[in-house]
Structure 1
Amino acid sequence: MRFRRTAGVLVACGLLLSPATADATTSGALPHAVTLTESALQGVHGTAPDATVRNVLTVTGTGTALRVRLSNPFGGTAMTVRSVWVGLQPSTNSPALVPGSNRRATFGFQRSVTIPPGASVWSNPLPLSVRRGDHVAVSVYAPGAPVNDHTFPPPETDTPGSFASAGPGDTGADESGSAFGAFKPGVLWWADAISAVSPARGTIVTLGDSITDGYNAFGGGPRWTDVLAARIETRPPGRRLTVANAGISGNTVSVQPNPYDPTGQCCGPPAPLRLDRDVLSLPGVRYVLLLEGTNDLGGGDNAPPAPAAQVIAAMRTIAGRVHAAGHKIVGATILPMCNAAGSAKEQARLAVNEWIRTSGTFDATLDFDAALRDPADPTVIRAGWRSDCYHPNAQGDRVLGDSIDLRVFGL
């Protein structure tokens, strides 16, 4: 059941508050399963060689009894995973693990598992404990498997990424890191989520495109989602939420051909088609934060710019499905895109943003457009906060993360 009340306005943050502010819980919540991190997979790119891939993901909360999820959403054939090891990594600069932290994962208490096309599988709980910011290394040996991956450039700090073994065979048990080659930032194979038993009261899933993924967040800082996670972590344990980043660069919020890639392999399925896998299937979801639509409205060589009505209809559908699943959804306005004032693209962006702010479709809204736009020219992001016409730099991401009023998440 959802409860509605009259929204208030907080002008300083460009934020509209509505009933999510009423969703506060006590600090005495019992530990339960939440999602500590996610990296939404995009497509299949080839077949795995006879090598071990050590995936590194950074968690956004405290937890024990870790479980890892491996997925084969796009493979045309089943994939057989022969071995998985999970350990703690002190630095993303090295494949070495904390001595004694590496654990062999099991699936249904078996060391190997076969994942059918379109399916995912969670490991059995592992005797590992983590805190926000810890790096978890998931070493997977699956030679011959279709490579379901996430391969867009990440931000500069605390980057998700991977190491491939320098030679053949299963080297997942190696804690020294000597069996592995150089770090590949932004490249993850098969491992797409980590969950744990946590005192946190739930998970925020950020559903979006490259602005959420962290693309071009240059300048030596974390993504806005990581800024948000760090701010939430200052709350008492039972008042915290974890953050799962389901951003995919180039993704669209509406079901349409991808504007940039006629093969459909670069940018993941449109948001409505991946909503179940990347959002609703995750443990502990309480809130979804939707920031998407730039790629639809901008268009490209493979698809024309989408009209405002198409983007609005997609957002309304997503919000309805999130509510039907018993969760709350927060809508963020679309950032400036360097489209000339009065142009069709800019008029469409303004129309979508006005609908986000006023329609009542979302439980709360975040005015990211107002937070970053240049007061002298609202069709662009402020010069000091942008990497290019579409993407904030690290300073812009910091502004976005700091602009979020935590009351929209009941904090």
Structure 2
Amino acid sequence: MRFRRTAVVLAVSASLLAPATAEAAPSGGAPPGWVTLTESSLEGVHGTAPDVTIRNVLTVTAAGTALRVRLSNPFGATAMTVRSVWAGRQPSTNSPALAPGSNHRATFGFRHTVTIPPGASVWTDPLPLPVRRGDHVAVSVYAPGAPVDDHTFPPPATDTPGSFTSAGPGDAGADESGSAYGPFAPGVLWWTDAISAVSPARGTIVALGDSITDGYNAFGGGPRWTDVLAERMETLPPWRRLSVANAGISGNTVSVQPNPYDPTGQCCGPPAPVRLDRDVLSLPGVRYVLLLEGTNDLGGGDNAPPAPAAQVIDAMRTIAGRVHAAGHRIVGATILPMCNAAGSAKEQARLAVDAWIRTSGTFDAVLDFDAVLRDPADPTVIRADWRTDCYHPNAAGDRILGDSIDLKVFAR
């Protein structure tokens, strides 16, 4: 424990001396001791920011100090100039008010403003803001005229990411009372895509997936399955705990193909292999990747036909190879039932992919989510009391998934 504490102190000192830079190489992004406490993968660019401040709210999944925030401009055709960023703790998700004295103005290489080129990301300098698992961190960003790189999805009811917008114009980041802001917009985030800190957690699990990971339609008053996993991590001894970063995007595909739902691709993010570096491998402290994706490929839509099993398998194999090459472990989860008739081409493709996930040896471990949620009387569907629709578990189903994960999978 003494060695660990020393490493953490050195990591903080090194970062305080480092200038703000664009996103780091996939193999790292921070000195030892840093982990990613939360993530919200950006999915597209939608217009230009008005003269307002956006107070983004994310829930962290582990304790930490020397907190840093990552802002990204992955899809903007022009540079974005960030004029001001503040970060503080939010006692209640129902209010934009912050805990008195917790709000701190961020710097980038000791500067208050930063310009982020198209396709780039920047981290703030460390902030004197300690957090515990479950704390809500409010990141207030003032970047009028910037391209709006966002994350937007119909969210679950509990601990959902979201934002408040100031009445404008001007910079309202310093307002701890929350009086400058309007109502909460659940599931809407601009520019803020990750928070990291120096943490006693030994690393980060990044859940790479689609709407089932993102939390779409997880109705019923409970958290997403990734949040359940984070809750359970808190029950472990401190030296075994891991943070959980949610890299789910609704509508996303695991293979490189046109998006089934949106010909512009703006709703659903780049395919998983395209976004793997930015959304997974560049994050600090990555130790495991948990892959649950393929439903949208196999299901197809108006803009793309159903993908064959071989296409999905090849994409998963490629992702696993890149994760291993980066020095991380990868856990594969089987694809959930999709209401396709027994014997149909879609159901046969799903069963083929799941059989490959279970038996190929490509993954370091397998979570059989299909077996957990399928209806014993009709294995082509999720059990009725655990689903919202054909593709998505409800909050009860998410709780079952999160509780079903054997934590020993993450013991190495």
TM range (shorter): over 0.9
SS at match of 1:346: helix
SS at match of 2:130: strand
Tell me what 1:211 maps to: 212
Question: Matches of residues 63-78 of structure 1 in structure 2 within 5 Å?
Answer: 63-78=64-79
Question: How much has 1:189 moved relative to structure 2?
Answer: 0.2
For residues 123-163 of structure 1, what are the alpha-carbon distances to aligned partners after superposition, in whole Å with 9 as ceiling and x for unaligned?
00000100110000000000000000001111101110000
Tell me what 2:12 maps to: none
For residues 273-308 of structure 1, what are the alpha-carbon distances to aligned partners after superposition, in whole Å with 9 as ceiling and x for unaligned?
000000000000000000000000000000000000
SS at match of 2:178: coil
Say if 2:141 is the partner of 1:140: yes
How far apart, CA to CA, are the structure 2 residues paired with 1:215 and 1:376?
26
How far apart, CA to CA, are the structure 1 residues paired with 2:97 and 2:243?
26
For residues 4-57 of structure 1, what are the alpha-carbon distances to aligned partners after superposition, in whole Å with 9 as ceiling and x for unaligned?
xxxxxxxxxxxxxxxxxxxxxx99854410000000000000000000000000
Tell me what 1:155 maps to: 156
For residues 229-261 of structure 1, what are the alpha-carbon distances to aligned partners after superposition, in whole Å with 9 as ceiling and x for unaligned?
000111122210000000000000000000000
Tell me what 1:374 maps to: 375
How far apart, CA to CA, are the structure 2 residues paired with 1:59 and 1:72?
22
Question: Matches of residues 7-46 of structure 1 in structure 2 within 5 Å?
Answer: 29-30=4-5, 31=8, 32-46=33-47
- Does the CA-based 8 Å contact 1:27-1:236 persist in structure 2? no
How far apart, CA to CA, are the structure 2 residues paired with 1:147 and 1:352?
36
Tell me what 2:271 maps to: 270
How far apart, CA to CA, are the structure 1 residues paired with 2:351 and 2:314?
15
Question: Matches of residues 157-172 of structure 1 in structure 2 within 5 Å?
Answer: 157-172=158-173
- Does the CA-based 8 Å contact 1:84-1:139 persist in structure 2? yes
Tell me what 2:391 maps to: 390
Aligned CA RMSD, in angstroms, stands at 1.0
Tell me what 1:230 maps to: 231
**For residues 363 and 29 of structure 1, do their structure 2 counterparts lie closer, same or farther at Cα, with a shift above 3 Å needed?**
farther
**For residues 27 and 222 of structure 1, do their structure 2 counterparts lie closer, same or farther at Cα, with a shift above 3 Å needed?**
farther
- Does the CA-based 8 Å contact 1:84-1:138 persist in structure 2? yes
- Does the CA-based 8 Å contact 1:212-1:245 persist in structure 2? yes
For residues 179-207 of structure 1, what are the alpha-carbon distances to aligned partners after superposition, in whole Å with 9 as ceiling and x for unaligned?
00010000000000000000100000000
- Does the CA-based 8 Å contact 1:27-1:238 persist in structure 2? no
SS at match of 1:95: coil
Counterpart of 1:235, as a letter, is: L
For residues 70-95 of structure 1, what are the alpha-carbon distances to aligned partners after superposition, in whole Å with 9 as ceiling and x for unaligned?
00000000000000000000011000
Question: Matches of residues 286-297 of structure 1 in structure 2 within 5 Å?
Answer: 286-297=287-298
Question: How much has 1:61 moved relative to structure 2?
Answer: 0.3
**For residues 44 and 199 of structure 1, do their structure 2 counterparts lie closer, same or farther at Cα, with a shift above 3 Å needed?**
same
Counterpart of 1:299, as a letter, is: G
Say if 2:88 is the partner of 1:96: no
How far apart, CA to CA, are the structure 2 residues paired with 1:193 and 1:83?
17
Question: How much has 1:167 moved relative to structure 2?
Answer: 2.1
State how many pairs are aligned.
386
How far apart, CA to CA, are the structure 1 residues paired with 2:330 and 2:155?
25
Question: How much has 1:222 moved relative to structure 2?
Answer: 0.2
Tell me what 1:342 maps to: 343
Tell me what 2:83 maps to: 82
Say if 2:55 is the partner of 1:54: yes
SS at match of 1:341: coil
How far apart, CA to CA, are the structure 2 residues paired with 1:159 and 1:254?
27
SS at match of 1:127: coil
- Does the CA-based 8 Å contact 1:29-1:238 persist in structure 2? no
Tell me what 2:115 maps to: 114
Tell me what 2:200 maps to: 199
Counterpart of 1:73, as a letter, is: P
SS at match of 2:158: coil
How high is the TM-score relative to the length of structure 2?
0.93
**For residues 209 and 111 of structure 1, do their structure 2 counterparts lie closer, same or farther at Cα, with a shift above 3 Å needed?**
same
How far apart, CA to CA, are the structure 2 residues paired with 1:137 and 1:392?
28
How far apart, CA to CA, are the structure 2 residues paired with 1:153 and 1:342?
32
| Higher RCO (C-alpha under 8 Å, 6+ residues apart) | 1
**For residues 346 and 326 of structure 1, do their structure 2 counterparts lie closer, same or farther at Cα, with a shift above 3 Å needed?**
same
- Does the CA-based 8 Å contact 1:29-1:201 persist in structure 2? no
- Does the CA-based 8 Å contact 1:28-1:238 persist in structure 2? no
Tell me what 1:176 maps to: 177
How far apart, CA to CA, are the structure 1 residues paired with 2:2 and 2:263?
49
Counterpart of 1:306, as a letter, is: A
- Does the CA-based 8 Å contact 1:332-1:366 persist in structure 2? yes
For residues 98-134 of structure 1, what are the alpha-carbon distances to aligned partners after superposition, in whole Å with 9 as ceiling and x for unaligned?
0000000000110000000000000000001001100
- Structure 1 gaps, min length 5: 1-25
Stretches of 4+ moved more than 2 A in 1?
26-31
Tell me what 1:405 maps to: 406
How far apart, CA to CA, are the structure 2 residues paired with 1:189 and 1:237?
33
How far apart, CA to CA, are the structure 2 residues paired with 1:386 and 1:232?
25
How far apart, CA to CA, are the structure 1 residues paired with 2:40 and 2:168?
26
- Structure 2 gaps, min length 5: 9-32
SS at match of 2:247: strand
How far apart, CA to CA, are the structure 2 residues paired with 1:234 and 1:83?
37
